[in-house]
Chain A
């Protein structure tokens, strides 16, 4: 594991902890008073996160100066013998967030095949079966099961008017 990234994560946690403590001081204490109060738990957890993050960071820095930026501890649980790509994981996280953004405006029926196709593309799939047939089949079957059979209200974006006219959705 790269100690530099571990250091950054530890410092990010420390910053988050400090932020929680700072924000806790702005919480309205309200009229009803009790022995603990609305801020105490935030102070406690914020301080613990900040102190823990700083402790890990300090330890990392100390070990870095002794044995360089690579640590021998590895938490990744990656499968040995297969290259791992953090870039692919972050690309898929980005695609997933984009899917959530487009879910309502584009509607489930348009956003889902784009998302599934995009994720499969990120996995290196290039065939028509993977990029077109699988996403469309999944989208159609999941929509039928959830929206039509189980009555989960899924947004259909630009098709809302048409579906309403056809009586497929009520609202």
Chain B
């Protein structure tokens, strides 16, 4: 208990510093703006402001960067709900349910649930982060390739329910994503695979560029099919009332589940907010009393997605601070900022400098409090954005996506990759191949194979020995249990639909 309370009190004590508050304020607003702009994500935002952190104290620098993460994960949901344009790939599932509610005139409900879920997910994940980071430092050497393989296997299970209405098309999309993820160097022999002699893709495609293409660019291309104004479709949504507690309450279990899943998935190196949101959406659908509402304006879907995205901020910090292993691109930059300040990333970093842990808590906490006070106002201000010319917003969004993708590595190849996968994603969207499944597979596929093969090598290619390690076996059993339960729920739902043919949703052939 002392292990938990000391960092929490340490973090709260730092909130007495007005400079920290000022930086958190700037960071959160900057994060919300960057998050709301298509193609610009947390990693890019970190890259933009990194040089400024060199002149800050380490505590203020960490708090400032984490405030950007909190703002960014909330900001991406606002244009997703109001305009159907995901601020970042992680918000693509918010588009599906949020836009449906917005079109039904329930913008306040969609924005309100997203707001409460983002705050709730962020706040609840902070004690989870503290609870996990301290023991994880002790577990650093028992969480090896087989255990990480098991975690990726858990993520792969989520692919099944992201397949959409046509399961075969969804599986084809997922296999396509895995194939794209595998292109590049073989993880064991480092020989090139399917690069066709192109030096530029010898190490594979940039995952972020592929996912931006599949999720964000494809959606913009699809939106370009039609010319109309948002106001014509949704009416003049100049004001939205904050939903009542009664309206929000049904989404609380999904929010809670999203927080847990977001923190855990966020903690897996290489995962981050997008897989966290997708896996959480799947779990919420699995355990929902109304799974048929998912994709048709489900507040549980929005809640799970938003809570998971913000919770993943805390999750990503677990391996970053606990083990010195950055969980995502933005965490690489956080460690880079700390490195410049003289800290040595590794399992002993937090033991040597506990103030970094306190600063993380202070940054996450202060940004959440600041969002609590201003987040709803920001969302309602954005309501006026639906009065903007839709076609101009789409054209500028495309230009910003190109600029943002280029800025990640200042490489034009990434722009080509995002645009080509945007075109492929557009065709997939049009003909019912789930881009969400493909994108999640891109994130998981490479690491799934790598951890499986290196794990097998560790056990002389004895698969049973590998999966019977205690932690690995526990995670795999949990994954299989979730899969079996999901299958049972799907069969039960199908049987219920068959028994009530009037309400059935036709399954495409």
Which positions in A face B, CB cutoff 8 Å?
1, 5-6, 9-10, 13, 16-17, 20, 23-24, 27-32, 34-36, 38, 41-42, 44-46, 48-49, 52-53, 55-56, 59-60, 63, 71-73, 75-79, 82-86, 88-89, 92-93, 96-97, 99-100, 103-104, 112, 115-116, 119-120, 122-125, 130, 134, 138, 142, 146, 150-154
Q: Does B128 contact A (CB under 8 A)?
A: no
Q: Tell me the smallest distance from the CB of A97 to a CB of chain B, in Å.
A: 6
Contacts of A116 in B (CB 8 A): 395-396, 399
> Which of A30, A36, A75, A85 has its CB near the most chain B CB atoms (within 10 A)?
A75
A31 and B189 within 8 A (CB) = yes
Hey, which chain A residues are within 8 Å of B463, CB to CB? 35
Known: A75-B429, A79-B233, A142-B400. A35 touches B461 (CB 8 A): yes
Contact indicator B410/A151 (Cβ below 8 Å): no
Interchain residue pairs A-B with the least CB separation, the first 8: A30-B189, A73-B508, A35-B461, A52-B172, A123-B391, A75-B432, A38-B186, A119-B395
A32 touches B188 (CB 8 A): yes
- What are 30 contact pairs spanning A and B, CB under 8 A? A1-B431, A9-B433, A13-B176, A16-B176, A23-B194, A27-B191, A28-B192, A34-B188, A34-B453, A35-B461, A41-B178, A46-B175, A60-B509, A73-B432, A73-B506, A75-B430, A79-B233, A83-B226, A86-B225, A93-B422, A93-B423, A93-B426, A96-B217, A96-B419, A119-B395, A120-B392, A122-B224, A146-B407, A152-B407, A154-B406
With A31-B189, A93-B423 in contact, do A134 and B172 touch (Cβ < 8 Å)?
A: no
B379 nearest CB across to chain A (Å): 23
Contact A9 B427 (CB under 8 A): yes
Contact A124–B403 (Cβ < 8 Å):
no
Is A138's CB under 8 angstroms from B396's CB? yes
Are the C-beta atoms of B226 and A152 separated by less than 8 Å?
Answer: no
Measured between C-beta atoms, what is the minimum distance from B458 to chain A in Å? 10
Nearest A residue (CB) for B225: A84
Asked if B395 and A153 sit within 8 Å, CB to CB, the answer is no
Q: Do the beta carbons of B412 and A88 come within 8 Å of each other?
A: no
- What are the residues of chain B within 8 A of A77 when measuring CB–CB? 222, 429
Residues of B near A100 (CB, < 8 A) are 402, 412, 415-416, 419
Known: A89-B224, A92-B224, A124-B227. A34 touches B399 (CB 8 A): no
Chain B residues whose C-beta falls within 8 Å of the C-beta of A146 in the assembled complex: 403, 407
The distance in angstroms between the C-alpha atoms of A24 and B179, with both chains bound, is: 11
Contact with A along B163-196 (1 / 0, CB 8 A): 0011011011001101100100010111111100
By a beta-carbon cutoff of 8 Å, the part of chain B in contact with chain A is 48, 51, 165-166, 168-169, 171-172, 175-176, 178-179, 182, 186, 188-194, 217, 221-222, 224-228, 233, 391-392, 394-396, 398-400, 402-403, 406-407, 410, 412, 415-416, 419-420, 422-423, 426-427, 429-433, 445, 449, 452-453, 456-457, 461, 463, 506, 508-509
Closest to B432 in A: A75
Q: A49-B176, A73-B432, A93-B426 are in contact. List 6 more A-B contacts (CB 8 A).
A: A16-B176, A17-B172, A52-B172, A92-B398, A120-B395, A122-B224
Using known A-B contacts A36-B452, A56-B169, A120-B395, determine if residue A150 contacts B48 with beta carbons closer than 8 Å: yes
Whether the pair A28, B191 counts as a contact (CB closer than 8 A) is yes
A89 touches B189 (CB 8 A): no
Minimum CB distance partner of B462 in chain A: A35
Q: Which of B175, B217, B427, B457 has the most CB of A within 10 A?
A: B175
CB-based contact B506/A72 at 8 Å: yes
